[in-house]
Amino acid sequence: MYKQWTADMIPDLTDKRIVITGGSGGLGLETARALVAHHAHVVLAVRNLEKGHQAAAGLLREYPQAQVEVMQLDLADLQSVRTFSETFLQRYTSLDVLINNAGVMVPPLGRTKDGFELQFGSNHLGHFALTGLLLPVLLDTPSSRVVTLSSIAARSGYIYFNNLNAQIGYSAMKFYGQSKLANLLFARELQKRLQETGASTISIAAHPGVANTNLISRGSGKQAGKAASFVWGLFSQPADLGALPTLYSAVEPSLRGGEYIGPDGKGSRKGYPQPDLSFEHKYNDSTASKLWRVSEEMTGVQFPFRQPEAVQE
């Protein structure tokens, strides 16, 4: 059923509005390219506006009729997340898909504008806050979706509740795994809460396997070195294939929410999208619930879920 799903199978997306964080390069840009090719209105939510406009110009050269917009969003700055969300809500009354794609991978120890450890703060807390702030427009859009990108690194991830800000030590790879497990737990907990309130919005997690993107630049924003890129390329699949699980999560009508979509190849490293059941042991309701509470406290964002009776009115 799930074998060999490709971007050619994306339905017509005319009148669908989709936000992609980190849409100026790598998986985000490949995701945007496939979506605008099928007539979606795509908003590239990017930290670097210059790179965002360059990406949009490239998409318009490929697809002159494309609907593509660039808006500034720095996930490592909660005020930027609030400003983006307020601007979006003033401008639009619908959002069909929010794709929480942007991320940093194994940088040296760094901090967000709000003092959080950079990977947990950007990859998880920034997206947590963004989703919560955009929830009203998502709930107002029938059958909308939130797609959150995790990673196979979540397989070895652990939530260090006593050390979320690296105040008692830091390991770049362990904290990357923590942030990606947080993405996965957030996506599943969000689906649980949406379902409990009777919303038609669903939450799905996805991972690209091992994709050849510039994440290996370690959050610098610069292109990775030629040697590193070459070695990485030997073990990874192209970004357009790495984007397939995200695209599948965003448009496949058979999905009901709560799935984790990844490549179907050995070790989930390469291949075509399908539900990845190899991470089921990583789900823990109490951990997910605690992470949600802690994320609310750290970001100051609470999700405005509606009670079932309000939804049905």
Asked if residue 275 lies in contact with residue 2, where contact means CB atoms within 8 angstroms, the answer is: yes
Q: Percent of the chain having pLDDT more than 70?
A: 89
Structure tokens at 270: 């390469």
Q: Token pair of 10, please? A: 């994306």
- pLDDT digits over 168-222, tens only? 999 999 999 999 999 999 999 999 999 999 999 999 999 999 876 555 444 445 5
Q: Over the stretch 270-288, which tens digit does the pLDDT of each residue have?
A: 899 999 998 899 999 999 9
What pLDDT is attached to residue 220? 46
pLDDT computed for residue 236 by the predictor: 64
* Domains assigned to the chain: 14-211+240-298 (3.40.50.720)
Tell me the three-class secondary structure of the chain, residue by residue.
CCCCCCHHHCCCCCCCEEEEECCCCHHHHHHHHHHHHCCCEEEEEECCHHHHHHHHHHHHHHCCCCEEEEEECCCCCHHHHHHHHHHHHHHCCCCCEEEECCCCCCCCCCECCCCCEHHHHHHHHHHHHHHHHHHHHHHCCCCCEEEEECCHHHHHCCCCCCCCCCCCCCCHHHHHHHHHHHHHHHHHHHHHHHHHCCCCCEEEEECCCCECCHHHHCCCCCCCCHHHHHHHHHHCECHHHHCHHHHHHHHCCCCCCCCEEEECCHHHCCCCEEECHHHHHHCCHHHHHHHHHHHHHHHCCCCCCCCHHHHHC
What distance in Å separates the CA atoms of residue 25 and residue 181, rounded to the nearest whole number?
23
Q: For residue 288, what pLDDT is reported?
A: 98
Cβ 197 vs Cβ 311: under 8 Å: yes
Nearest to 175 by CA among 124, 216, 236, 131: 124
Token couple for 234: 């030997």
Task: Collect the ranges in the chain with pLDDT lower than 50.
Answer: 1-2, 216-220, 228-229, 231-234, 310-313
Buried b (16+ CB within 10 A) or exposed e, 237-263: bebbbbbbbbbbbbbbeebebbbbbbb
Q: What is the mean pLDDT of the chain?
A: 91
Q: Tell me which residues are annotated as active site.
A: 176
Q: How far apart are the first and last CA of the chain?
A: 37
Supply the pLDDT for residue 238.
Answer: 86
